[in-house]
Structure 1
């Protein structure tokens, strides 16, 4: 039996987005959506036609049922998701902004997903996939979810599977900046592909220079580093070469949340489907650009035909 494509794990939350701009305390009406970095990527992979799985724990409640049904509609394998009758599904409130980043308030303490631990890792399920995509959010939530992250990564590497890691730094979730940097770098250096933003790279390595950020991880065994540069695109480096791939021009930014996850979807899917590194980075830039033009975290993620149409109309290039 052939392996499925890509699996990820983490916390999904129901997200209530303000229907008009303003402080969250002043908003009366919200629209319901789905949030969570890892479900964003799972949705993105599935829309591109990859077989995608997502592992987590959801409360046995209305929010949990909404998430389960949503992901099934998106053709995501949720057989690795368990129900929890003692802990609730988390949720969040998100403001609507005309420019800049929105305000987000989380209600996730003691959520079902935060109780995942190392003993919950089903190595048999995970290794049915050829690739694991993970972020730095689960290791920040609780001691137990950190154990889960290490165990999942270890199981995949032991089975010879590839792993991508997006730092997705959330300083407010960590007890200290030092702990965050130490744990995130430890996990990143166990992965094959590392995808930091340039600001994250500065926090994690002490340099804003994309090449120096890349060299930090390449010298510790990582095989590919792609540094997100925002509107300017992305820089990539492997032991065999480097390049900068220009970003796509966006006339109007609606919401920046989900752009980094969209980049990961494009890069990882491209590499899994046999594109060159520069082509995969270009795909990541394209999906990131599409993401910022829609309100929800992953509403703008394209299907394969939609992506191909977008690329045909917005060609960009590589600078060596």
Structure 2
């Protein structure tokens, strides 16, 4: 029997993360790195898969060994890679970071002359699958260049605000050669959920105050605005008047770079499970905190029982070896 629609389809950035094996050391002094799957769209798909959701990602890699590595990683994490295709003329992107906990993690993106994930063309999209997915998650990076911008907006228009259609604001100024506001406004008109930190909200709607930013995001189109405030926690506001605020989870930060993607995967889970908004953002906060306590992004994504434990006030568990991927399963019970 053929499986039904995907729980989550993400679209956007993928690459290889190379992280130092020592913290507090600048890149010119680092003598060892660990390699991981990276990129926001790919990481959110992995995070959702860890919570039991059936996920896939729409993206592109180089036709090179790193591209093959990313395919292997996606499959091992239980993410469907059928819409991940190679681009002959561009190399798979590499991202380096420096680790200066608790809050300084400079990133160095190697995506020139162009990243293959920006070569997604509208005619390549499986629009039937995108329309049918319970969640479609796209990112601001996918809007920064053509043909990815047109492809992303095409996917959003085809969704026609179905179910959960998430715009992850994902503002990376180094990727843009023009003003993002028009593209962001176009995406917000088609999204039902907008997620971003204060810098990203200011870029999208010109507001940094959390409540003002939430109101401006809702006015631009979405039904739900989720504003991440770092040490001040998270504010979520629904058009129906429901508001939820969740405090941050105390954590000894190792690497904060994957926390937002873990948050995204848990947000998808909570929205699909129909959990109350406050419970959803608390679980998302817990997922982010767990990943911030670990070195990696993708391989550090938490399992449902870990999210439940931390969301209910328990301690952050040590990282455990991933279970062998046996295909996507029914949604877990992250609370």
TM-score using structure 1 length:
0.90
> SS of the residue aligned with 2:250?
coil
Which runs of 5 or more structure 2 residues have no equivalent in the other structure? 316-335
C-alpha distance in structure 2 between counterparts of 1:250 and 1:122, whole Å? 41
Of 40-49 and 213-222, the range deviating more from structure 2: 213-222
Match of 1:123 among 102, 123, 127: 127
C-alpha distance in structure 2 between counterparts of 1:240 and 1:124, whole Å? 30
Shift of 1:37: 0.5
Higher relative contact order (CA 8 A, sep 6+): 2
> SS of the residue aligned with 1:257?
helix
Structure 2 partner of 1:16: 18
The structure 1 segments of at least 4 consecutive aligned residues displaced by more than 4 Å after TM superposition are none
Whose strand proportion is higher, 1 or 2?
1
Structure 1 partner of 2:174: 172
CA RMSD of aligned residues (A): 2.0
Cα–Cα, structure 1 residues 64 and 214, in superposed 2: closer, same or farther, change >3 Å? same
CA contact (8 A) 1:189 1:217 kept: no
Which runs of 5 or more structure 1 residues have no equivalent in the other structure? 316-320
Cα–Cα, structure 1 residues 239 and 103, in superposed 2: closer, same or farther, change >3 Å? closer
Match of 2:41 among 38, 41, 44: 38
CA contact (8 A) 1:114 1:145 kept: yes
Q: Where in structure 2 are the equivalents of 1:112-261 lying within 5 Å?
A: 112-140=116-144, 142-157=145-160, 160-176=162-178, 179-261=179-261
C-alpha distance in structure 1 between counterparts of 2:309 and 2:110, whole Å? 39
Cα–Cα, structure 1 residues 221 and 244, in superposed 2: closer, same or farther, change >3 Å? same
Shift of 1:11: 2.4
Structure 1 partner of 2:77: 74
- CA shift digits 1:194-239 (9 cap, x unpaired): 1121232233333322221121122233111111121222111112
C-alpha distance in structure 2 between counterparts of 1:129 and 1:248, whole Å? 30
C-alpha distance in structure 2 between counterparts of 1:111 and 1:299, whole Å? 23
Cα–Cα, structure 1 residues 202 and 88, in superposed 2: closer, same or farther, change >3 Å? closer
